[in-house]
Amino acid sequence: MSAKEINEIKAIAGSYNLENYDQVKDTFEWEDAAKELSYFQTGKVNAAYETIDRHVEEGYGDKIALHYINGDERKSLTFNEVKHQTDHYAQVLKDHGVQKGDRVFVFLPKTPACYISILAVIKIGAIAGPLFEAFMEEAVKDRINDCKGTVLITDKELVKRVPQKDIPSLETILFAEEIDALPQAPAKESLVEWVDLEDGLIIHYTSGSTGKPKGVLHAHRSMIHHIISGKWVLDIQEDDVYWCTSHPGWVTGSVYGLFAPWLNRATIVIQGGRFKAENWYQLIAELKVTTWYSAPTAFRMLLSQGEIFKEYDLSSLRHILSVGEPLNPEVIHWAWNNLGLRIHDTWWMTETGGHLIVNLPNEKIKPGSMGRPFPGITVGILDSEGNELPRGSVGQLAIRAPWPGLMKEIWGNKDKFNSYFLYEGWYISGDLALQDEEGYVFFQGRSDDMINSAGERIGPFEVESKLIEHPAVSEAGVVGKPDPIRGEIVKAFITLRTGFVESEALLEEIRLFVRKNLSAHAAPREIEVVDELPKTKISGKILRRKLKEQELQKLHA
């Protein structure tokens, strides 16, 4: 980037929270970040206290904490109001006997109640398990059963997708509508349960290439990572209106939709409803959003709608970020040419708990790269024996462990946890990448069969297991097929049981079966019936890799 371009951006941005990556990258200590939190003086921690209560105590109670927008509905809450509501929810949870360390699930659409519920759970020392609002019965059941959740906060609509009889650990279901309607008694004493940095904070379920989704448990210490990356990468400043488009059921929606912005006292936007380009632009214009964190699929969908953005005043925007899937240079160029802003890519994973590879706001961007390691983070590109490869080579993307955001454990699965740390001192991401001489990291794909559709991580095993529950399906192999908008779509190859004949109607029925029982985002967009599936000779395992190769050859033919 030329000096002129940097100055132009600076003129829009004012001053940055982090002036120069090169100055801090070698000297930064995580301990410096910990000093931003009040626990540093007391030794006591609670992430809900640090996100909300602390700002009230420091005199910012009247500042707007959130704007909620859904269709014609509008609501804004101050930090005072969020604190009171969080206390109210926390008291209700306590009255129902919730104790430190219990797993309390939150299954709500993107509304203030969803954010408040998560914080209330954390405030009393329990572990929050947020669930994506589009999950269907099987997805909900598997997750709550896995870590034996005892309490669920949901609403009268979503509860229809909770198969209560099949979740034996679940003792109590609370409805947000009913909690809201209860009289709010002023709390007699603080409801904050002071915990240890290592105590459990939040559990996010995520897919791998084998088995059911795994529960990635994060500890309160991860807020050290959240606060400093919120400051430097999101570049949150006092007057910002910050909008992260992800639902808190996904790690981006909790870490960078809730914790990082609120630890930095930002005003956040919570938007309900489905994606619609006009509504998104309208939201930015109406609420004067300054900082916007979304995903490449969303940007590509906006881009595909042509020039309608010209009808909206988007001049409040000063910083745009992206995560979850490869960000194509065309999208960066579109935003630069049309909005006068660069989109800043960030790379991290559910397991890593926070940003690891980033583009800081005032640093040079190389379109096609995910950016450089966050200060305090060391990247290694490893060969299959765990040796570091020279710059410019493609290998396994690994990070020197630990760092504050790193997961604490995989719930009840030590082997799975250990599988991330096969080589002494390294966390292995499962991504393939190369790093250039200047430290920029370029994504090259996955080393396993995980599918990334619209930035959402989908495990083929979960989809295959659901497919073969359908009476017509004998065997199934599921892969990601490249797609210009969604990055990849889920494609299923199936064989039919005898007696069933392929038809459009049957394939649609099978697709809906997965959609209805698992979730919409994991349902195959394409299903192809084949006579047989390729398998390994010895164990007879379905060779997804072969299916994917065939699919890619077809695309390039």
Query: Closest residue (Cβ) to ligand PRX?
Result: 350
Binding mask 242-271 vs ligand PRX (x if CB under 6 A, - otherwise)?
---------xx-------------------
Pairwise CA distance, residues 552 & 510, whole Å? 24
Phi-psi category of residue 531: left, alpha or beta, with phi > 0 → left and psi -120 to 50 → alpha: alpha
Alpha helices in 182-313, H assignment, sequence order:
222-232, 251-254, 260-263, 277-287, 296-303
Which residue of 107, 232, 243, 347 would you call a contact of ligand PRX, by CB under 6 A?
A: 347
Which residue of 50, 193, 345, 462 would you call a contact of ligand PRX, by CB under 6 A?
A: 345
C-beta of residue 64 within 8 angstroms of C-beta of residue 164: no
In degrees rounded to 5, what are phi and psi of residue 172? -135, 135
Tokens of 349: 């994973």
Pairwise CA distance, residues 324 & 434, whole Å? 18
Pairwise CA distance, residues 135 & 148, whole Å? 18
252 vs 517 by CB, closer to ligand PRX: 252
Least separation in angstroms between residue 399's CB and ligand PRX is 11
Least separation in angstroms between residue 355's CB and ligand PRX is 8
Tell me: cis bond preceding 373? Omega within 30 of 0 counts. no
Residues 531-550 that bind ligand PRX (CB under 6 A): none
Strand partners, 74: 69
457 vs 548 by CB, closer to ligand PRX: 457
166 vs 409 by CB, closer to ligand PRX: 409
Interface region with ligand PRX, contact rule CB under 6 A, candidates 64-72, 259-267, 321-329, 334-342: 321-329
74: CB partners within 8 A, 6+ apart: 67, 68
Pairwise CA distance, residues 474 & 468, whole Å? 6
Binding mask 150-189 vs ligand PRX (x if CB under 6 A, - otherwise)?
----------------------------------------
Interface region with ligand PRX, contact rule CB under 6 A, candidates 41-49, 76-84, 324-332, 407-415: 324-332
Task: Rule CB under 6 A: say whether 206 interacts with ligand PRX.
Answer: yes
Other C-beta atoms closer than 10 Å to the C-beta of 286 total 15
Which residue of 105, 348, 493, 513 would you call a contact of ligand PRX, by CB under 6 A?
A: 348
Least separation in angstroms between residue 250's CB and ligand PRX is 7
Which residue of 77, 233, 323, 407 would you call a contact of ligand PRX, by CB under 6 A?
A: 323
Interface region with ligand PRX, contact rule CB under 6 A, candidates 27-35, 73-81, 339-347, 534-542: 339-347
Other C-beta atoms closer than 10 Å to the C-beta of 53 total 23
Which residue of 264, 350, 362, 453 would you call a contact of ligand PRX, by CB under 6 A?
A: 350
Q: In what order do the strands lie in the sheet with 487-496?
A: 473-483, 487-496, 526-529
Which residue of 50, 102, 325, 464 would you call a contact of ligand PRX, by CB under 6 A?
A: 325
416 vs 446 by CB, closer to ligand PRX: 446
Task: Rule CB under 6 A: say whether 369 interacts with ligand PRX.
Answer: no
Pairwise CA distance, residues 106 & 135, whole Å? 12
C-beta of residue 292 within 8 angstroms of C-beta of residue 246: no
Pairwise CA distance, residues 132 & 518, whole Å? 12
Task: Rule CB under 6 A: say whether 324 interacts with ligand PRX.
Answer: yes
Binding mask 450-469 vs ligand PRX (x if CB under 6 A, - otherwise)?
--x----x------------
Least separation in angstroms between residue 88's CB and ligand PRX is 31
| Amino acid identity for residue 105 in this structure | F
89 vs 348 by CB, closer to ligand PRX: 348
C-beta of residue 35 within 8 angstroms of C-beta of residue 231: no
Residues 411-440 that bind ligand PRX (CB under 6 A): 429-431
Least separation in angstroms between residue 520's CB and ligand PRX is 16
Interface region with ligand PRX, contact rule CB under 6 A, candidates 91-99, 270-278, 323-331, 383-391: 323-331
Least separation in angstroms between residue 296's CB and ligand PRX is 8
Which residue of 63, 94, 364, 446 would you call a contact of ligand PRX, by CB under 6 A?
A: 446
Interface region with ligand PRX, contact rule CB under 6 A, candidates 29-37, 113-121, 223-231, 342-350: 342-350
C-beta of residue 422 within 8 angstroms of C-beta of residue 428: yes
C-beta of residue 449 within 8 angstroms of C-beta of residue 479: yes
Least separation in angstroms between residue 455's CB and ligand PRX is 6
Other C-beta atoms closer than 10 Å to the C-beta of 513 total 18
| Of 148, 145, 88, 144, residue with least CA distance to 112 | 88
DSSP 239-277: T-EEEE-S-TTSHHHHIIIIIHHHHTTPEEEEE-S---H
Count of chain residues binding ligand PRX (CB under 6 A): 21
The 8-class DSSP code of residue 484 comes to T
In degrees rounded to 5, what are phi and psi of residue 297? -60, -40
Least separation in angstroms between residue 323's CB and ligand PRX is 5
The footprint of ligand PRX (CB under 6 A) covers 206, 251-252, 323-326, 345-350, 370, 429-431, 443, 446, 452, 457
